[in-house]
Amino acid sequence: QSALTQPASVSGSPGQSITISCTGTSSDVGGYSSVSWYQQHPGKAPKLMIYDVDNRPSGVSNRFSGSKSGNTASLTVSGLQAEDEADYYCSSYTSSSVWVFGGGTKLTVL
């Protein structure tokens, strides 16, 4: 199972919005509503930010939102804050009954 494709890095200024893409195939992202997004700060465990494509767990800021179109899922962070600077990973369930992660995207807040 190949990893999902994410941009290596994105950046934005405080208050701006950014979008991170996650491209897979019809066997994973395109075939299931089982896409999730994780935030990871250096030296810390990942944190679930979005599940089931566009749902936020309790306690996650509504500045984070998810969507999907075809084989590509997206994470949008609006009103960027310094604390949003982190690595972000997408994940999807697949037709092989396994999960797969994206390669990760480093978000820099300028």
Taking CB under 8 A as the criterion, the residue among 15, 70, 79, 103 binding another protein is 103
Window 13-52: residues binding another protein (CB under 8 A): 32-34, 36, 38, 40, 45-48, 50-52
- The per-residue DSSP string of 17-82 comes to -EEEEEE--TTTGGG-S-EEEEEE-TTS--EEEEBTTTBPPTTS-TTEEEEEETTEEEEEE-S--G
Least distance in Å: CB of 37 to another protein? Answer: 8
Indicate the residue among 19 and 32 with the shorter CB distance to another protein.
Answer: 32
Least distance in Å: CB of 30 to another protein? Answer: 15
